[in-house]
Homo-oligomer: A and B are copies of this chain.
């Protein structure tokens, strides 16, 4: 069975960077927005529309207005949200069938639970997350800390609602993960190296 690593992460905690580093160091495939693209191709919906759906809780108020999709002003029904989730689950399962992989977000830890993925959750202190978001997101350059933090909390709330809705579990609850990492005082590089050591303990053994 392929080895699977799933990463849940608070916005601005460095979860994506950790995922990318792990995939490079382990030679695993890396999936994140690729999943969205995959769904978009399958469902023949515009990518930006699917992204909107996935980033909003299915419990969000309807109708939602879609910014740059091919479906301006479209109302998303509950059925539609569920269909996209089902399609997403299929794509994630296909990816896990194909090769060893790292999957960031998208309830992959739950969807693939029968395959016993190594489930990571990444989190950090507010100051660290604000700083990281300011550096990484160009649009944040003009915002003050309070505005960035408001945006971060909004995204976190969506992720938590989405996760709860589709899994019945609390997002970020340590019991749902194999390891939870606070990146506030850690370098993502050294965290990645430590995890590789944990996942491949046979490497760098004295016999080598």
Chain A residues at the B interface, C-beta cutoff of 8 Å:
116, 121, 123, 125, 172, 174-175, 177-182, 184-187, 189-191, 193-195, 197-198, 201, 204
Q: Is the CB of B179 within 8 A of A123?
A: no
Q: Which residue of B lies closest to A180 (CB)?
A: B180
Q: Which residue of B lies closest to A172 (CB)?
A: B174
What are 22 A-to-B residue pairs whose CB atoms are below 8 Å?
A: A116-B185, A121-B174, A125-B175, A174-B174, A174-B182, A177-B180, A178-B181, A178-B182, A178-B184, A178-B185, A179-B179, A179-B181, A179-B182, A180-B180, A186-B198, A190-B198, A193-B197, A193-B198, A194-B194, A194-B201, A197-B197, A204-B204
Mostly helix, strand, loop or mixed at chain A's interface? mixed
Distance A4 CA – B174 CA, assembled complex (angstroms): 24
Nearest CB of chain B from residue A95's CB, rounded to whole Å? 22
Distance A172 CA – B180 CA, assembled complex (angstroms): 12
Interface centre among A174, A191, A195 (most CB of B within 10 A): A174
Q: Is the CB of A201 within 8 A of B197?
A: no
The interface residues of chain B lying within 8 Å CB-to-CB of A204 are 204
Distance A106 CA – B186 CA, assembled complex (angstroms): 24
Q: Which residue of B lies closest to A200 (CB)?
A: B190
Which of B174, B198, B201 sits near A123, CB closer than 8 Å? B174
Distance A181 CA – B119 CA, assembled complex (angstroms): 11
The interface residues of chain B lying within 8 Å CB-to-CB of A179 are 179-182
Nearest CB of chain B from residue A200's CB, rounded to whole Å? 9
Which of B116, B177, B193, B197 sits near A182, CB closer than 8 Å? B177
The interface residues of chain B lying within 8 Å CB-to-CB of A174 are 121, 123, 172, 174, 180, 182
Q: Which residue of B lies closest to A118 (CB)?
A: B185
Q: Which residue of B lies closest to A194 (CB)?
A: B198
Nearest CB of chain B from residue A115's CB, rounded to whole Å? 13
Q: Is the CB of B182 within 8 A of A186?
A: no
